[in-house]
Amino acid sequence: MLRETIEASGLADICDRVETGERLSREDGLRLYACSDLNTLGHMANLVRERMNGDKTFFVRNQHINYTNVCNKGCKFCAFYVLPDQEGAYTLSIDQVKQRVREWLHEPVSEIHMVAGINPRLPYDYYLDILRAVKEIRPGVRIKAYTMIELAEIQRVAKKPIEEVLADLKEAGLDSVPGGGVEVLSDRVHAEIFHLKLNPAGWLEMARKVHEAGLKSNATLLYGHIETAGEKIDHFLQLRELQDETNGFLAFIPLAFHPDNTEMDQLPSTTGFGDLREIAIARLMLDNFPHIKSFWIMISPPMSQVSLWYGADDVDGTILREEITHAAGATTPQALTHAGLVEMIQEAGRVPVERDPLYREIARAS
Ligand code: V47
C-alpha cells in the first residue's frame, strides 16, 4: 500500500536513495518541491529523522533577549526594527540586560538567545559587556548570541581581525551562534529585500570563521516571500557544502515569513502544507545537519507537533518573550511552559529530551 503511494508520487527512485542513505542532488531537490504528495515527502524525511535521532525530540529552556530594535539595514521582511531616532527605539543598558536575566532566575533556563538589530552607535565594549552581564547574573547559563550579521557589525566597530573578535567574545561568555540573518543564500533575493546586509558570500565566510574559532552555529532559511524553489535548493546545497568542510552547524531552522507590518505585507502568510514541506525537504537535503528545528513561535505549537513526523527533531524551547515574529503579526503565545512542551511532544508519540544549546542532554522527561 505504502509502496503504491510512493510509486504514484513519482519519487520512488528518490525514496530508494533515501533508504540507502545516498546524497540527494539539486535535480532531486527540485523534484521534491514539485511533488504535492506531502505524506511521501514526510515518510522519507521521517526515515532520515529516525535514522539520525530515533524518537528523541529535543527542546531547551531558553530566554530570548533582543537588546536593541534599532537597525540600519532596512530589510523589507522585518517589522521589528526602527531607525535610531524614531519613536519606540530602544537599546537595553547593561543594567537592563541584567534585569531581564533576573526576571527569570526562578526558571531553570539553560540558554540565553540574544540577537538584535544593527545599531551602528553601539561600541565594541557593549557587545562584550552584555555577555559578561548575563553570565554575572546566571553563571551557569550558555549564551547563544550574535548572528553572522551582528558579528560583521561587531568586527566593524572593533576594527580588528575577526579571529581576535571571536576570541574576545568567547572570553566574555559567548558559547554558540544562532542561525538568523542568512535569509536566503541568493544574490537576487539579497539585492531585492535585504541588500544592506552582509551578502550570501559574506555570510558563508563569517560562518566558516565562527566554526574555525571552535564555535558551533545554526543556520536558517526565511521562506514564503519572493524566493523560488531553485533558490531554496541552492541555499541547502551551499550550507551542506560548508558543513562538509567545517561540521560546525548544529541545527537548521526554516523560518516562516510573517508579512504583517512589513514592507511586503501584500504577501499571504505561509500555509500548513508549505510549512511541513519546508521541514521535510530540509531534512532530506541537509543530510549532514544533525538537527532540524521546527520553530513553534513561527508555525504554531500544533504544527510544530505534527512536524515531528515530517523531519523535525527539535522544537526550540520555552522562549520567554519573543519579539521579532510578534512584531510581524504572529498570534502564537510568547512562551510555553516546560510541561506544555513535554506534553506536546509526548502526545505526538516522541520522547522529549531536554538539551542545552550544544545538544547535551540535561534530563529525560519520561
Ligand atoms: O534573521 C525577521 C527572521 C530571524 C521576520 O538559531 C522573520 O536557534 C518571519 O534567527 N517573519 C531571527 N521571520 C530569528 C532567528 C532564530 C529564531 C529561533 C532560533 C534560532 C536559532 C534563530 O527572524 C531573522 C529573520 O530571518 N525574521 N522578520 C518576519 N517578518
Q: Which of 324, 336, 355 to mutate to test the pocket of ligand 1 (most atoms within 8 A of CB)?
A: 324
Distance (Å) from CA 149 to ligand 1 centroid: 12
- Could you tell me if the CB of 186 is within 6 A of ligand 1? no
Residue 356 near ligand 1, beta carbon < 6 Å:
no
Distance of CA 29 to the CA centre of its chain: 21
Query: d(Cα 142, Cα 174) in Å, to the nearest integer?
Result: 8
Yes or no: say if 255 and 222 are a contact pair by the CB < 8 Å rule.
Answer: yes
Distance, in Å, from the CA atom of 220 to the CA atom of 316, rounded to the nearest integer, reads 13
**Which pLDDT score is estimated for 363?**
66
Residue 78 CA: nearest ligand 1 atom is 28
Domain regions of the chain by residue span:
57-273+288-364
Ligand 1 contact, 220 CB (< 6 A): yes
Give domain 57-273+288-364's CATH number out of 3.40.50.300, 3.90.1150.10, 3.20.20.70, 3.50.50.60: 3.20.20.70
Q: Is 325 in the pocket of ligand 1 (CB under 6 A)?
A: yes
Tell the residue nearest (CA) to atom 17 of ligand 1: 180
10 Å Cβ neighbour count for 161?
11
The values of phi and psi at residue 254, to 5°, are -70, 130
Question: pLDDT tens, 172-231?
Answer: 999 999 999 999 999 999 999 999 999 999 999 999 999 999 999 999 999 999 999 999
27-65 burial code (b ≥16 CB/10 A, e <16): ebbebbbebeebbbbbbbbbbbbeebbeebbbbbbbbbb
Cell of 293: 528545528
Contact 348, 296 (CB under 8 A): no
pLDDT at 1 over 90: no
pTM (predicted TM-score): 0.97
The model's pLDDT over 289-314, given as tens digits with 9 standing for 90+, comes to 999 999 999 999 999 999 999 999 99
Q: What percent of the chain has pLDDT over 70?
A: 99
CA-298 nearest atom, ligand 1: 9
User: What are the C-alpha distances in Å from 294 to residues 26, 254, 256?
Assistant: 23, 7, 10
How confident is residue 276, by pLDDT bands cut at 50, 70 and 90?
Answer: very high
Tell me which residue has its CA closest to atom 13 in ligand 1: 257
Distance 253 CA to ligand 1 centre (A): 9
Burial class (CB in 10 A: 0-12, 13-18, 19+), 334: middle
Cα gap 228→13, rounded to integer Å? 24
What's the 242 CA to ligand 1 centre distance in angstroms? 21
220-249 pLDDT, tens digit each: 999 999 999 999 999 999 999 999 999 999
- Pairing between β-strand 351-355 and β-strand 361-364 as defined by DSSP bridges: antiparallel
